[in-house]
Chains A and B, each alone.
Chain A
Amino acid sequence: MHIPDNYLSPATCAVLGAAMVPVWSVAMRKVKAELTRTRVPLLGISAAFAFLIMLFNVPAPGGTTAHAVGGTLIAALLGPWAACIAVSVALLVQALLFGDGGIMAFGANCFNMAFVIPFAGYFVYRFLKDRFQGERAGLICLGLGAYLGINLAALCAAIEFGIQPAIAKDLAGLPLYCPYPLALAIPGMMLPHLLVAGFVEAGFTVSAFAFIRRVSPGSVHQGARTRIPALYGLLGALVCLCPLGLLASGTAWGEWGAGEIRTALGNGRSLAFVPAGMTRGAALKALWPDYAVLGLPAWAGYLWSALAGAACLVIVFKLLGLLRRAGTRA
């Protein structure tokens, strides 16, 4: 998943690098508070460990092999903040001395592998683990966390690649950096990770963690019970990413209106008719058709709609939870 230079525009690199700066500062502060004595040696050696983990070839389904990243493993062992620093330093060594990953793209690579993987993986793991008892369940939660972590990172990388043709064009409209749009980048990145790399990462993470926990349980990071705000953070991030939908031209497959369906299918050749049910069938008058709100620009409308929609869903689920608990108590 290491992104080389010149695949992402300098603007994208700058934005992701800037996003990492506060993450690193907070990580340094948190690590100073948590690991007092041995922190310098432990961080240095953990960075070496993070580097070496990425060298292992792990058996993959189908008889091939793949590399793991290990971000979720290190987060489960040392906590997510220390993992962020360890993986960042490992990535720096890889970029500077081994040519693995670009220098300008360093911020992007850190964002994907030193931020998304450890944090997403760790929070999914802890969130699920705190709600299920048992050692075996803990391992399954870790595997899920690792799988989701690496796939989320792959998605981020795919988005970083996929928006390049839209945001960096020359005069003739040709792409300057990665030439593959979202429609190609997302399946291109996600399919190998969903089908192969995710399982490799999960399997490797679980087996290493299981060994360490069995042999030396005291070495594992004892984190505080996850606070719910983390989940809100994830939701918030998803809400902010919604306007990306605007970049995709046309209408999502299957969501055509009656007029659109005439031209939508068939490679430019139009459907000669409109299905009768669509002209005369049920019509739902939505509150905010096409996500347009009161004349605001499209992206603002999207954000507003996303926020409102998410809030409504959360309220509904919480109310349901309340009802269920009341029901079981009765």
Chain B
Amino acid sequence: MIQLSGVSCSYGEGDVLAGIDLRIGRGDSVALIGPNGCGKSTLLKLLNGLVPARAGRYAFDGEAITLERLRQAPFAKRFHQRIGFLFQNSDAQLFCPVVYEEIAFGPRQMGLPEAEVARRVEGCLELLGIGGLRGRVPYHLSGGEKRKVALASVLALNPEVLVLDEPMNGLDPRMKQSLREIMVALNAAGKTVLCSTHDFKYVEGVFRTAVVLGDDHRVARVGAYPQIVNDEAFLRARNII
């Protein structure tokens, strides 16, 4: 589904990502692990077409994703519908005055009839357990509520791939549990889930694969999630714990 070959990325001087080789299959659930500053967020942004690669090749479902292709509006829009991104900062992801509008934004753009839009919005609200927030103002919600509304607004697009940037940050334990269940359910329903996280305790049983990025901005190790997360010596050596 997602294939990166030798991808490098830089901001000014120095590489933020160097020679990344990555393969994620349809339906996978992958955790992206690494110390602060290793380039996790940049990698996720690159996968969503926000940041261009300096070198290497990025293929999504067999199609090359390049700056030129993303300049063609219909292609870019279809791409953004197929891969959804939950930003680390939920405040920045909400720009509508009412929660209902926020979640309806995507489906309305897709040209769906209003009845279908309503069905999707209600479906997302129920799935995430935030039905009571329907008429509220996103700006005034708590951190966890904002995260759920942002996730709902992304899910409403019905993407095939869901990318989450440290979704557990700043949530209380109950919210973390709730989010964990949602991620498991989404993956079970066939969505490919890719998530960067520090919070190993709360994501037990969510991910099958783990990708570890090192301080050198390269892929340090790829393997089964339980193996990697329990290898304390390895994690300590990589400054992850």
Residues of A whose CB lies within 8 Å of any CB of B are 211, 214-216
Contact = CB atoms under 8 A, between A and B. Distances in A.
B101 to A, nearest CB: 11
Contacts of B97: 211, 214-215
| A-B interface, 9 closest residue pairs, ranked by CB to CB distance from nearest | A214-B97, A215-B139, A215-B137, A215-B97, A211-B97, A216-B139, A215-B140, A214-B137, A216-B140
Given A214-B97, A214-B137, 7 more contacts: A211-B97, A215-B97, A215-B137, A215-B139, A215-B140, A216-B139, A216-B140
Interface residues of B, number: 4
Contacts of A214: 97, 137
A211 B97 CA distance: 6
B140 to A, nearest CB: 7
A65 B140 CA distance: 32
A216 B97 CA distance: 10
Interface of B: 97, 137, 139-140
Contacts of A215: 97, 137, 139-140
Nearest to A210: B97
A240 to B, nearest CB: 44
* Chain A contact residues, majority secondary structure: helix
A136 B137 CA distance: 20
A137 to B, nearest CB: 19
Contacts of B137: 214-215
A211 B102 CA distance: 13
A214 B139 CA distance: 11
Contacts of B140: 215-216
B209 to A, nearest CB: 40
A247 B164 CA distance: 66
B229 to A, nearest CB: 41
A214 B98 CA distance: 9
9 contacts: A211-B97, A214-B97, A214-B137, A215-B97, A215-B137, A215-B139, A215-B140, A216-B139, A216-B140
Contacts of A216: 139-140
A187 B139 CA distance: 44
Nearest to B96: A211
A98 to B, nearest CB: 18
A211 B95 CA distance: 9
Contacts of B139: 215-216
A50 B139 CA distance: 21
Nearest to A211: B97
Contacts of A211: 97
A214 B137 CA distance: 9
B146 to A, nearest CB: 13
A13 B100 CA distance: 52
Nearest to B137: A215
B137 to A, nearest CB: 5
A215 B99 CA distance: 11
A211 B94 CA distance: 12
A211 B139 CA distance: 11
A215 B96 CA distance: 9
B135 to A, nearest CB: 12
A211 to B, nearest CB: 6
A215 B97 CA distance: 6
Q: Which of A211, A215, A216 has the most CB of B within 10 A?
A: A215
A215 B137 CA distance: 6
A240 B140 CA distance: 50
A214 B95 CA distance: 12
A210 to B, nearest CB: 8
Nearest to B95: A211
A38 B176 CA distance: 36
A215 B139 CA distance: 7
